[in-house]
Structure 1
Amino acid sequence: MRVFFKFFMIVFLLAQSNFYAQSIELKIDNLIETKFEADNPGAVFLVAKEGKPIYRKAFGKANLEMNIAMQPEFVFEIGSMTKQFTAVAIALLEEQGKLNFQDEIIKFIPDYPTQGNKITIHHLLTHTSGIKDFTKMKELRKISKNNLSPKELVDFFKNEPMDFNSGEQFKYNNSGYIILGYIIEIVSGQSYEDFIQKNIFDKLVMIATYYASHEKVIKNRVSGYHNREGYVNNDYISFTLPYASGSIMSTVDDMLKWQNAMDTNKLVNSKTKQKIFTNYKLNNGEEINYGYGWHIKEISKSISLEHGGSIFGFKSMGVYLPKEKIYVIGFSNCDCNSPTQLTKDIATLFVDE
């Protein structure tokens, strides 16, 4: 009788688990299918629990002209999710003793006009430097197709008036991460591309993650689109402009490797990780809901570590719930159709359960 009861309980629990998995899958499908239609630019979504995928699907088209259906392993431009990699690259150099988060940027770029401010690496990482965001400058269109060196790009915006004194406000700022990329090159003696390839992509076996290139043949590269009274191919921009603030391409599978590495301290130690995921404050003590390369927010009162990305033709969003150990990542190949809210809605399913 006891053996039968144990057998019954095992069968019952397996059935319950299978029913739950099917129920969650159906709920996620229903959320995504309302936004991404079969014949339009599409998306890929992955959900992982405790580091293992439990949902991984593609929707819509990867290329409209060739009528190619989207596949889960396809490569997308991830835009500002690049900032996570730049922040960790800085953290690696900090662990090696080659810089400190509190170092002033003039230690590395002596001629940078700080306009009376003490601007630190910490300020750049947390978007509290006050430096003008170069993507908001009208002159950007004139150089958008030019291949610039990091120094030339920094020179493009460095003499602009400050938006505010360092540490007084939080204002999302791509210029800060351009300077961080330049500092990585100065300190390491390598290009930004080579540094992240050797110290992050190769180490984590992220075989489908790249510093973006228009010239390089990249297997499974997805085409990007705008919707301007109908779908059109995405505008050209030199990847030397988004640079360390937005020039990485990846897959949802490689991004799970990345998330798992952060979760298990594979790249940086626990002390450094704590600094990365601290909710920092302004000079007046107000929290900014941002650490180093990640927003620190809440979903249904559960802590959420997240970041999105937007670059011509592409949108991306990743959400990690540390308590539930749930990671949701979504990529879209039309900047008209963001996966941001969907990833949060999917994550909410696991908080509410």
Structure 2
Amino acid sequence: MQRAVAHRFGWIALLCTGLLGAADAAGGPRPGPPDPGIDALLQRYDGQVPGAAVLVLHDGQPVFRRGYGLAVVEDGTPVTAQTNFRLASVSKQFTATAILLLAQEGALSLDDRVKRWLPSLPAAADTITLRHLLSHTSGLLDYEDLMPRDATAQVRDLDVLHLLERQDRTLFVPGSRYRYSNSGYALLALVVGQASGQDFATFLRARIFQPLGMAHAVAHQDGVDDVAARAYGYSEIDGRWQRTDQSPTSAVLGDGGIYASLDDLARWDAALYDPRLLGIASLRQAFAPATRTNEPDAPFYGFGWRLNGEAHWHSGESIGFRSVILRYPAHRLSVIILTNRDGPEPYPLALQIAQRWLDTLQ
């Protein structure tokens, strides 16, 4: 373990000295080496269209790192490794980590009833625990289904709580089934605030992003912070790319509100191999099967992670964005794809890219 820790800290030192953030003479990021096979897979993202950022990490090294297409179509801003994309549901692993950090410090317990922290929830939530929220087994109603169909104003995590306060029922007995729940992760963000005495965005910045050197990662709040080197989201409508960056649910932080870049996520990936952030026991909890799912590509769910054999992964999907992080810890291999368009889903691409390395490792 000491050798593994030293190796990962060496990787962070390389990051800090500019391996991932090196600039060429023109002041831009140094592009990754070409790879015709990956370039062919990403062809639809290249050119004057909403783009993608791709990173492959193997044994702590960036073996492929490249941007394709545009972060801002209107002015031709290209995608780079420093471009910050909305992670959508990839954000859930950060929310889960915030809860695990507080649990290992004794500020809360995963078996706490959620009503200990959010007492305004109705009686139907009496038996729901934080563990249920983390593993999508709470039975809470989906807040998206409770919003007016013609809603245009953005809801926030606290608004999700208010929507659920009026619903004295659950979809099933808490703990008895799996059903993916954005509502649960919005409530977890509020629990982080209650247990830590800091708002969720501040906690993430102080306890996760800054310690790991994720300099520009942010749980974005419009009017409160700015997203550096921001990618805007787009949808193809009537054959043209139109900006569709925000929806009424885009301001909810706990289930999908984080922006980050490839370079930030390389630091995040490194921290998942050793106890610099979460202790070993907490890391094991995050990646242990907490519940069986009904999803063929992920038969088990941990805490913010889908689990399929050796693969730990999660995708993110919100208006104008698709993302995925796919990890094979036993092979120290990770593939990260961030895109600023409504489709296609990048998970199949990540599998294809990962297989190129797995074929040589097995």
TM-score, scaled relative to structure 1: 0.85
Contact 2:69/2:79 (<8 A) preserved: yes
Contact 2:115/2:125 (<8 A) preserved: no
SS at match of 1:316: strand
Measure how far apart 1:72 and its partner are. 2.2
Contact 1:117/1:165 (<8 A) preserved: no
Task: Name which of 267, 290, 295 aligns with 1:257.
Answer: 267
Contact 2:217/2:260 (<8 A) preserved: yes
Deviation track 1:324-344 (CA, whole Å, cap 9, x = no partner) reads 110100011111233221112
Measure how far apart 1:39 and its partner are. 2.1
Measure how far apart 1:74 and its partner are. 0.9
Contact 1:78/1:316 (<8 A) preserved: yes
SS at match of 1:264: coil
Alignment of 1:1-353 (within 5 A): 25-33=35-43, 35-115=44-124, 118-139=127-148, 141-142=150-151, 144-146=152-154, 148=156, 150-160=157-167, 161-215=169-223, 216-229=225-238, 230-237=240-247, 241-281=251-291, 289-298=300-309, 303-353=310-360
Q: Taking structure 1 as reference, are residues 246 and 116 closer, same or farther at Cα in structure 2, changes over 3 Å only?
A: closer
**Aligned counterparts of 1:140 and 1:92: Cα–Cα separation in 2:** 37
**Aligned counterparts of 1:159 and 1:147: Cα–Cα separation in 2:** 16
Deviation track 1:188-245 (CA, whole Å, cap 9, x = no partner) reads 1110011111000111110121111344443311121011212111153467742111
**Aligned counterparts of 1:116 and 1:206: Cα–Cα separation in 2:** 36
SS at match of 1:289: strand
**Aligned counterparts of 2:355 and 2:69: Cα–Cα separation in 1:** 24
Measure how far apart 1:265 and its partner are. 2.0
SS at match of 1:227: strand
**Aligned counterparts of 1:121 and 1:147: Cα–Cα separation in 2:** 22
Contact 1:213/1:239 (<8 A) preserved: no
Contact 1:36/1:42 (<8 A) preserved: yes
Residue 252 of structure 2 aligns with an amino acid whose one-letter code is P
Contact 1:43/1:332 (<8 A) preserved: yes
Name the structure 2 match of 1:19: none
**Aligned counterparts of 2:125 and 2:153: Cα–Cα separation in 1:** 33
Measure how far apart 1:258 and its partner are. 0.5
Contact 2:89/2:255 (<8 A) preserved: yes
**Aligned counterparts of 1:62 and 1:236: Cα–Cα separation in 2:** 15
Measure how far apart 1:141 and its partner are. 4.7
Residue 36 of structure 1 aligns with an amino acid whose one-letter code is Y
Measure how far apart 1:172 and its partner are. 0.8
SS at match of 1:245: coil
Q: Taking structure 1 as reference, are residues 235 and 270 closer, same or farther at Cα in structure 2, changes over 3 Å only?
A: closer
SS at match of 1:255: helix
**Aligned counterparts of 2:60 and 2:249: Cα–Cα separation in 1:** 31
Q: Which ranges of structure 2 fall in alignment gaps of 5 or more residues?
A: 1-31
Name the structure 1 match of 2:27: none
**Aligned counterparts of 1:138 and 1:93: Cα–Cα separation in 2:** 31
Q: Taking structure 1 as reference, are residues 23 and 96 closer, same or farther at Cα in structure 2, changes over 3 Å only?
A: closer
Residue 343 of structure 1 aligns with an amino acid whose one-letter code is A
TM-score, scaled relative to structure 2: 0.83
Deviation track 1:90-148 (CA, whole Å, cap 9, x = no partner) reads 00100111111111112212232242751110100000100011123352652x52464
Computing the radius of gyration from Cα coordinates, the structure with the larger value is: 1
Q: Taking structure 1 as reference, are residues 112 and 23 closer, same or farther at Cα in structure 2, changes over 3 Å only?
A: closer
Measure how far apart 1:151 and its partner are. 3.4
Deviation track 1:162-211 (CA, whole Å, cap 9, x = no partner) reads 11111221111000001111111111111001111100011111012111
**Aligned counterparts of 1:73 and 1:159: Cα–Cα separation in 2:** 42
Residue 26 of structure 1 aligns with an amino acid whose one-letter code is P
**Aligned counterparts of 2:288 and 2:221: Cα–Cα separation in 1:** 33
Q: Taking structure 1 as reference, are residues 207 and 104 closer, same or farther at Cα in structure 2, changes over 3 Å only?
A: same
Measure how far apart 1:296 and its partner are. 0.7
Q: Taking structure 1 as reference, are residues 282 and 102 closer, same or farther at Cα in structure 2, changes over 3 Å only?
A: farther
Q: Taking structure 1 as reference, are residues 147 and 31 closer, same or farther at Cα in structure 2, changes over 3 Å only?
A: closer
Q: Which ranges of structure 1 fall in alignment gaps of 5 or more residues?
A: 1-21
**Aligned counterparts of 2:209 and 2:258: Cα–Cα separation in 1:** 11
Deviation track 1:57-107 (CA, whole Å, cap 9, x = no partner) reads 111122221122222221111111111111000001001111111111122
List structure 1 segments (4+ residues) > 6 angstroms apart after TM superposition: none
Residue 297 of structure 1 aligns with an amino acid whose one-letter code is N
**Aligned counterparts of 2:292 and 2:330: Cα–Cα separation in 1:** 27
Residue 67 of structure 1 aligns with an amino acid whose one-letter code is G
